[in-house]
Structure 1
Amino acid sequence: MLLSPKHRFLFVHIAKTGGTSVRAALQRRRWADPWYWPMFLCSRFSHLSGHRIATKLPRHAKVVAAKELLPKEWFDTLFKFAFVRNPWDLQVSSFHHIRRERPQFLGGHDDFAGFLRWKLDPGRRYQFHVDTSIELQTDYLMDLHGNIVVDFIGRYERLEADFDEACRRIGLTQVQLPHRRQAKDRAHDYRSYYDADTAELVASHFARDIALLGYAFDPADD
């Protein structure tokens, strides 16, 4: 999550949706924000206290955390936005990310189908690096009453165009989106990773995301 008092925006960072690039682009503008250094110092103190003083919103915090923490009149003035991603594609990206950077969390499953079935098993022990990628993306966008409270939902599939639109609404110009964490170890088409059973596993688990965000598996043409 990225908050800018000067530019009055709140970026809700959902994992594996291009958020690292968005943060990198917007972070540079925060350095000119007169609130940046007080916020930075508070963040350091929060870290030293084990975040017990609650002055730092976590990187992947849901918008409800900011809504409950910030004064209502201030929260309502912020331009709140996030990026989402096709759930089937996101799961492929998550698999390769964990296999590449945190293989100890694969649970002994080095193939995508086996890992996905294990990952979506409700009886599996919770693991942060695994479970953040199976939380519903719409949970990040909603308040406690199930209302979507972000003002703009961009899509990973058109990241640059939607980032430009978010910057236009914020009032920022000439902000270049860097390309960060581009995977080179996966097939381009996420659909090639699935069979009918694993595709249905994702469809069932992420049914609300698929319905509210308008995603589909889009099977390849015969």
Structure 2
Amino acid sequence: MLLSPRYRFLFVHIAKTGGTSVRAALQGLRWRDPWYYPMFLCSRMSHLSGHRIGTKLPRHAKAVLAQELLPRPFYDSLFKFAFVRNPWDLQVSSFHHIRRERPHYLGGHQEFADFLRWKLDPERPYQYHVDTSITRQSDYLVDLHGEVIVDFIGRYEQLHDDFATVCARIGITQPALPHARKATDRKRDYRSYYDDDTAELVARHFARDIKLLDYRFDPD
């Protein structure tokens, strides 16, 4: 999550949706923000700014946390945005990320289908680094009543165009959007990783995302 009091925005960073690139592109704005130094120095004393510095907002915090932590008029005044991704594609991306950077979290499952079944098994013991991609994307976007509380939901599938919309809304010249953490070990088409059973497994687990965000396994 990235908060800018000067530019009046709150970026809700959902893992594996291009958020690292968005964060990197916007990071330079922090140095122009007069609140940056209080945010850095007062990480445990946020009350000094009337709780406007958001120093207790984790990198992948949900929007509802910011809504509850920040004063409501201040939260409401922010342009709040996030990026989302096709759930089937996101699971493939997450698998390759874990296999590349944290292979010990694979639980001994080297193939995507086996790993997916193991990961989505409700009886499996919880592990944070595996379960970040189990969390529904919609959970990051809604309040305690299930109502969407962000102003703009961009899509990974049209990241550059939607990032341009974000920059226009916050009133900045669009910075370069780096392609961070590019995977080189995956097939291009996520659909090739699935059979009918594993595709349905994702459809059931992420049904709320698929409905809210209007995704399909085969967008064609």
TM-score, with length taken from structure 1 = 0.93
Aligned-residue CA RMSD (Å): 1.5
Q: Distance in 1 between matches of 2:171 and 2:186?
A: 36
Counting only pairs closer than 5 Å after superposition, residues 4-43 of structure 1 correspond to structure 2 as 4-43=4-43
Identity of matched residues, %: 76
Match of 2:55 in 1: 55
Counting only pairs closer than 5 Å after superposition, residues 40-189 of structure 1 correspond to structure 2 as 40-43=40-43, 55-189=55-189
The answer to whether the Cα contact below 8 Å between 2:44 and 2:55 also exists between their aligned partners in 1 is no
Match of 1:50 in 2: none
Distance 1:189 1:144, change over 3 A: same
The answer to whether the Cα contact below 8 Å between 1:98 and 1:105 also exists between their aligned partners in 2 is yes
Question: Where in structure 1 do 4 or more consecutive aligned residues deviate above 4 Å?
Answer: none
Tell me by how many angstroms 1:45 deviates. Answer: 7.8
Instruction: Give the letter aligned to residue 109 of structure 2.
Output: H
Q: Show CA shifts across 1:24-67 (max 9, x none).
A: 01110111100011101223889xxxxxxx83210000000000
Instruction: Give the letter aligned to residue 112 of structure 2.
Output: F
Q: Distance in 2 between matches of 1:45 and 1:97?
A: 35
Moved more, 35-44 or 155-164: 35-44
Instruction: Give the letter aligned to residue 107 of structure 1.
Output: G
Instruction: Give the letter aligned to residue 39 of structure 2.
Output: M
Distance 1:38 1:142, change over 3 A: same
Match of 1:49 in 2: none
Tell me by how many angstroms 1:173 deviates. Answer: 1.0
Q: Distance in 2 between matches of 1:44 and 1:90?
A: 34
The answer to whether the Cα contact below 8 Å between 1:154 and 1:162 also exists between their aligned partners in 2 is yes
User: Structure 1, unaligned stretches of length 5 or more?
Assistant: 47-53
TM-score, with length taken from structure 2 = 0.94
The answer to whether the Cα contact below 8 Å between 1:191 and 1:219 also exists between their aligned partners in 2 is no
Q: State the aligned residue count.
A: 213
